[in-house]
């Protein structure tokens, strides 16, 4: 049973999708130019987010300086607003699934130090990409960096883009003509990668390439490859219990063991029924029920919320099957159904089912007589 602890927190769950990592890793602006780039990114999708002006007010106040001034004042209020806006962006991107019957629009750009791109459909962002260039890549020509931005975006989201209609927008006009043969083996390999996807490449002027330009100019935190569990927890409503809000998700076996020891009902069941038994997982004694970890009442709501969000808001059956593969508690099916039916994002974004009434027998008879 030593593998149970590992399986519980990995099976069916993957880290926060890389399509929003570029946004979560954005660091707070350090100059007015960087702040204006970020505001341009947000305002580009201004029709999507409610209370956008309210969220951006602390940030726009910083930009109200005399013409030519480089004064930059960043306080806790601005930092809080910056992270709140990032949270809204990531929530919308996570809840938007690609429509493979529509064209994928990819805006790419590259600066001297960083790459940036955004994938969207009908003006709605689906995925973001950004990373810093290596020392060697910084010596590439402008055209090579711009081409690298396209190639890396295609490779990063290969499973989503390959085989479907793609339209790429770049502010480097030479990339719209890839018919000439280059003597550089590197350029040739990149060109073959692009041709594999068969995209249409269009030129767009730099000032209009707002989002990709912001992603390649704003500093990113490269200290970790994936967002932390606390960043994941901030994207969804967890629980009203402040002590549970401070926990790191996914939960450790130590945390589950501690909360099991506080559940008196569970302790009594364990003593009376042989199907409840202790086992050692990662050095901690946890209670199992039919070889599945029993979740005490206090942890059910936050665990259910975490699974549902980490899996990107699946339906009732998939959420339940994933949890039930390694965890169990009484009324699990009902709890999953109640949680998903009360999930605001799911109810707002799910496809509505039209209910048609039955045609009355009187109307059927009249139509047949005609």
Question: Alpha-carbon distance 99 to 27, whole Å?
Answer: 31
**pTM, 2 dp:** 0.52
Main-chain dihedrals φ then ψ at residue 314, nearest 5 degrees: -75, 180
Query: Mind listing the domains of the chain with CATH numbers?
Result: 4-11+227-349 (1.10.340.70), 18-215 (3.30.420.10)
Q: Strand pairing of 327-328 and 292-294?
A: parallel
Q: Where are the beta strands (DSSP E) in 259-312?
A: 276-281, 284-289, 292-294
The pLDDT profile of the chain, 370 residues, written as one tens digit per residue, is: 333 433 344 333 334 445 666 776 778 888 888 888 888 877 776 656 656 677 788 888 888 877 667 677 888 888 888 888 887 777 666 656 788 899 999 998 888 888 888 888 887 888 888 888 888 888 999 888 999 999 999 998 888 898 899 999 988 888 887 765 567 888 888 998 999 999 999 988 877 777 777 776 666 665 544 444 444 444 444 344 445 555 666 777 888 888 888 888 877 777 777 767 777 766 778 888 877 888 888 888 888 888 888 787 888 888 998 898 888 898 999 999 998 888 877 877 766 665 666 656 655 555 565 5
Are the CB atoms for 41 and 17 separated by under 8 Å? no
Q: Strand pairing of 292-294 and 284-289?
A: antiparallel
Single out the residue of 256, 250, 331 nearest to residue 293, CA to CA. 256
Question: Alpha-carbon distance 313 to 8, whole Å?
Answer: 19
Are the CB atoms for 298 and 241 separated by under 8 Å? yes
């Amino acid at each position: 049973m030593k593998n149970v602890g590992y399986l519980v927190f990995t099976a069916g769950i993957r880290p926060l999708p890389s399509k929003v990592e570029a946004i979560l890793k954005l660091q707070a602006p350090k100059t007015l130019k960087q702040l204006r780039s970020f505001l341009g990114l947000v305002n580009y999708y201004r029709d999507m987010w409610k209370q956008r002006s309210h969220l951006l007010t602390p940030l726009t106040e910083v930009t109200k300086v005399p013409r030519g001034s480089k004064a930059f004042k960043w306080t806790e209020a601005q930092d809080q607003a910056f992270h709140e806006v990032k949270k809204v962006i990531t929530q919308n991107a996570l809840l938007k699934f690609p429509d493979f019957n529509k064209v994928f629009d990819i805006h790419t750009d590259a600066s001297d130090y960083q790459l940036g791109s955004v994938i969207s459909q009908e003006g709605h962002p689906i995925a973001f990409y950004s990373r810093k260039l290596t020392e060697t890549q910084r010596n590439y020509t402008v055209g090579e960096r711009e081409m690298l931005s396209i190639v890396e975006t295609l490779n990063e989201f290969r499973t989503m883009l390959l085989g479907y209609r793609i339209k790429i927008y770049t502010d480097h006009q030479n990339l719209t003509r890839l018919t000439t043969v280059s003597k550089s083996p590197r350029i040739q390999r990149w060109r073959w990668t692009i041709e594999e996807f068969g995209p249409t490449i269009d030129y767009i002027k730099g000032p209009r390439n707002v989002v990709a330009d912001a992603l390649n100019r704003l500093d990113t935190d490269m200290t970790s490859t994936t967002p932390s569990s606390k960043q994941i927890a901030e994207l969804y409503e967890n629980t009203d219990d402040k002590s549970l809000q401070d926990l790191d998700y996914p939960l450790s076996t130590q945390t589950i063991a501690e909360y099991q020891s506080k559940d008196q009902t569970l302790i009594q069941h364990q003593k009376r029924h042989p199907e409840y038994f202790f086992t050692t997982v990662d050095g901690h004694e946890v209670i199992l029920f039919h070889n599945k970890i029993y979740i005490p009442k206090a942890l059910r709501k936050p665990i259910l919320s975490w699974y549902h969000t980490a899996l990107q808001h699946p339906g009732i059956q998939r959420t339940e099957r994933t949890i039930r593969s390694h965890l169990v508690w009484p009324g699990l099916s009902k709890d999953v159904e109640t949680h998903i039916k009360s999930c605001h994002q799911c109810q707002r974004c799910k496809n509505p089912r039209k209910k048609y009434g039955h045609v009355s027998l009187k109307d059927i008879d009249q139509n047949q007589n005609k």
